Amino acid sequence: MKQTTRKKMKLGDVATYINGYAFKPKDRGEIGLPIIRIQDLTGNAYDLGFYDGEYPEKIEINYGDILISWSASLGVYIWNRGKALLNQHIFKVVFDKVDIDKKYFVYAVQKKLDEMKMKTHGATMKHIVKKDFDAILIPYPSLNEQMEIANNLDKVSRVIVAYKKELQLLDNLVKARFVEMFGDVKDNPHNYEIFLIKTLLKSCETGWSANGTQREKKDNEIAVLKVSSVTKGYFIPEECKVLDDQANIKKYVTPEKGDLIFSRANTREMVGATAVIMEDYPLLILPDKLWKIKFKSSVNVFYMKYVLSSKSIRNEFSAASTGTSGSMYNVSMDKFKSIKIPVAPIELQNQFADFVRAVDKSKVAVQKALDEAQLLFDSLMQEYFG
C-alpha cells in the first residue's frame, strides 16, 4: 500500500510527553512498584529496583503504554510488564491531541530515531532536547491508512520474530547436545582430565585498537572490528569501523578460518564472549579488546567454544574481570590462561563439532530468510516514513 497523502505533523503536536521522576539511589528498595530506567527497557539491567512510597500519578505506567527514551540510548517501546514507575530520561506518551494509531506512532518514531540521534547534545550523556524532539516531523495520513500501515508492518515484524526464535531454538539445540554428550562443565560427570587453558593453546594474540569511522566499508579498505562482532556468539564481520588512517597500521591480527575470537573486555556479564571464524578475513583487524586464539590438535575449536561459553566458565571470567566502569570490564590473559577446564576425548569433541556444523547449515538457511524479511521491513519503513 502506498500513502495517498504526505501530510506531516510535528511530534509535539501529536501527543503530550511526560518525563519520568528523578528517583534517588536511596529510593530504590526491594518492595513496591518497579522503577523503570533506560537499561530496563534495553535489557541491559540486572538490578531492578522498587519504590514503596508516594508518587505522582503521571509517572505510573501500565500495559500498552508507549515509552520513549530520549537520553543515552534513544528508543521507542511498548510497555508490557504491568504497573510500574517511570524513571527520568524517559517519556510516557499521552495521546491527547490528535487521532493516531499507537502502533503507527511507534513505527514512525522508530524510523525517526536516526534523525533524533543527529540532534543530540552532551559530551558524556547524549540526549535530545525537548524542543528538537517536538519539532521532528512524521507523516500523518488518515487514521484508516495509519492502521493499514501498522498492520502491514506488524505482519513482517511477526515473521522476523519467528525467524529469530527459530535461530534461538537451534542455538539451544546445540547447547542441549553439548550437555547430553559431556555433562555440565562444572560438575564434570565423566571425570575428564582437567587442563589449564594455557596448556591447550597454540597461540593467543591481542589486536590493536585504531581510530575508525562507522560507515560502509569499500573494497580493499581495512577496518577494525568492534567487540559487538562476537557478543552474539557468532561472528558478525559488518560490526567494524573503517580505519581513518589506511597507511599506518601498527599491528595486523586478522581473523582466519578455525580461529576462536574471544572478547576480553565488555560488560561484566559479556566478558568472555566467543565466536568461531569460518573463513579468512584479510581486510579486518582485531582491536586490543579481542583475542585471536588457535588451539592445539588435542582440542576442537567448537568444543572449546562451548566449554568457554558454559555458565560456570563465563562466571569465572566475570569473577576474574576487573574495572571501575559499569560498562567495560577486563580479564587479563594470565587469568584467562590459568582457568582449568575438563577436556573430553578428541573423538567425542569431533562428533560434537560435526553436529554443530550440521545445525549451522540450518541456521544459514533461516538467517537468509530473516535477512530477506528484514530487507522487506526496511523498505516498507522507507516507503511509509522516509
**C-alpha dihedral (252, 253, 254, 255), degrees to nearest 10:** 180
More confident residue, 330 or 287: 287
Is residue 250 within 8 Å of residue 275, measured between CB atoms? no
Shared domain for 210 and 318, answered yes or no, is yes
* pTM for this prediction: 0.77
Shared domain for 154 and 235, answered yes or no, is no
Alpha-carbon distance of 250 to 135, in angstroms, equals 46
High-pLDDT (> 70) share of the chain, % = 95
Lowest mean pLDDT among 57-66, 131-140, 187-196, 265-274: 265-274
Shared domain for 325 and 203, answered yes or no, is yes
Side by side, which strands form the sheet with 260-263?
201-206, 290-295, 260-263, 274-276
Shared domain for 68 and 137, answered yes or no, is yes
Shared domain for 149 and 253, answered yes or no, is no
DSSP state of 3: -
The grid coordinates listed for 193 are: 582430565
Evaluate whether residue 203 is within a structural domain: yes
Evaluate whether residue 2 is within a structural domain: no
Q: Which residues contact 52 (CB under 8 A, 6 or more apart)?
A: 29, 31, 32, 33
Shared domain for 322 and 372, answered yes or no, is no
Evaluate whether residue 166 is within a structural domain: yes
Residues of the domain holding 259 = 193-343
What is the number of domains present in the chain? 3
CATH number, position 170 = 1.10.287.1120
CATH number, position 64 = 3.90.220.20
| Chain mean pLDDT for the chain | 91
Shared domain for 216 and 279, answered yes or no, is yes
Q: What backbone phi and psi angles, to 5 degrees, belong to 339?
A: -75, 140
The string of DSSP codes covering 225-245 is: EPGGGTTTSS--TTSEEEES-
Domain boundary among 311, 326, 343: 343
Evaluate whether residue 94 is within a structural domain: yes
pLDDT of residue 3: 46
Asked if residue 325 has pLDDT above 60, the reply is no
Shared domain for 219 and 180, answered yes or no, is no
Summarised one tens digit per residue, pLDDT across range 247-304 is 888 889 999 999 999 998 777 667 788 999 999 999 999 999 999 999 999 999 999 9
